[in-house]
């Protein structure tokens, strides 16, 4: 994978705190969304997905919120751990296509 | 089990040369994607295969880029007359789309450098 994001927006959180990473998506026709985590030198790793007929979905320690009105997606990570340090991308899938459009990414730094 | 593998991990070539990048998806995954990622950016979609056929090649930047998946498993991305702007990490992902869930498993990528 890419050595990601020398100049990406960075979110720094204390270990144990909750993290919220935001994403504005571009296409109002998108109906499926995925959050990915990418560590340096690796490919992206699927975290959680959500369809446009939902506004919230929960996984293990993660929650994704979708606001279609303002085309906004957020990823909430509970009790952030050092292993959560990475770059996070949202990806949208426009309805009727197989392509995915990735956002620019946010670097999460977890402070001990 | 084995994940998605990509070879080579690094490829350095000269402007104008031809390169082939290989992707071995997870066994049984019918969906296969190619992306490229430049430094500081998110992956950019190139092409999607469902089985042997390219169901969506709308992301290929121009006709120098071509990809095949002849037996519905291994895929090769081919770039002709490489240009310096082609330098990037090329990522492959495979998926078994079930119930509308497209959990893509990515390989580590091939870093292509065009001198």
Residue B101 pLDDT class (50, 70, 90 cuts): confident
Are A11 and A109 in contact by the 8 Å Cβ rule? The answer is yes
Residue A6 pLDDT class (50, 70, 90 cuts): low
Burial label, A80 (beta-carbon count in 10 A; 0-12, 13-18, 19+):
buried
**Which of A25, A33, A93, A99 to mutate against chain B (most B CBs within 10 Å)?**
A99
Are B40 and A8 in contact by the 8 Å Cβ rule? The answer is yes
Residue A2 pLDDT class (50, 70, 90 cuts): very low
What tens digit of pLDDT does each residue of B69-87 get?
A: 999 999 999 999 999 999 9
Residue B105 with chain A: CB contacts under 8 Å: 46
Residue B115 pLDDT class (50, 70, 90 cuts): very high
Dihedral angle of Cα B46, B48, B14, A3, to the nearest 10 degrees:
70
Instruction: Give the least confident one: A31-35, B47-51, B78-82, B96-100.
Output: B96-100
Q: Residue B98 contacts by C-beta under 8 Å, 6 or more apart in sequence?
A: none
Residue A5, pLDDT score: 47
Residue B37, pLDDT score: 97
Interval A87-104 mean pLDDT: 94
A105: three-class secondary structure by DSSP? coil
Query: Of the candidates A68, A70, A44, which has an alpha carbon nearest to the alpha carbon of residue A56?
Result: A68
Residue A8, pLDDT score: 83
From the CA of B11, how many Å to the nearest CA of chain A? 14
CA B53/CA B105 separation, integer angstroms = 19
């Amino acid at each position: 994978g890419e050595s990601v994001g020398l100049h990406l927006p960075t979110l720094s959180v204390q270990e144990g705190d909750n993290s919220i990473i935001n994403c504005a998506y571009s296409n109002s026709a998108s109906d499926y969304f995925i959050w990915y985590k990418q560590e340096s030198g690796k490919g992206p790793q699927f975290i959680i997905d959500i369809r446009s007929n939902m506004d919230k979905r929960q996984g293990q320690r993660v929650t994704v919120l979708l606001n279609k009105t303002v085309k906004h997606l957020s990823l909430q990570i509970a009790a952030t751990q050092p292993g959560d340090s990475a770059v996070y991308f949202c990806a949208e899938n426009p309805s009727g296509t197989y392509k995915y459009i990735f956002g620019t990414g946010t670097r999460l730094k977890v402070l001990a | 089990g084995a994940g998605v593998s990509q070879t080579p991990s690094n490829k350095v070539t000269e402007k104008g040369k031809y390169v082939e990048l290989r992707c071995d998806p997870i066994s049984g995954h019918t969906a296969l994607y190619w992306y490229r990622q430049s430094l500081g950016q998110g992956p950019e979609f190139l092409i999607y295969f469902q089985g042997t056929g390219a169901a969506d090649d709308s992301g290929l930047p121009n006709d120098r880029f071509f990809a095949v998946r002849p037996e519905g498993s291994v895929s090769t991305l081919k770039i002709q007359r490489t240009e310096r702007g082609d330098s990037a990490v090329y990522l492959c992902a495979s998926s078994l789309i079930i119930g509308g869930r497209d959990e893509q498993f990515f390989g580590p990528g091939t870093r292509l450098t065009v001198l």
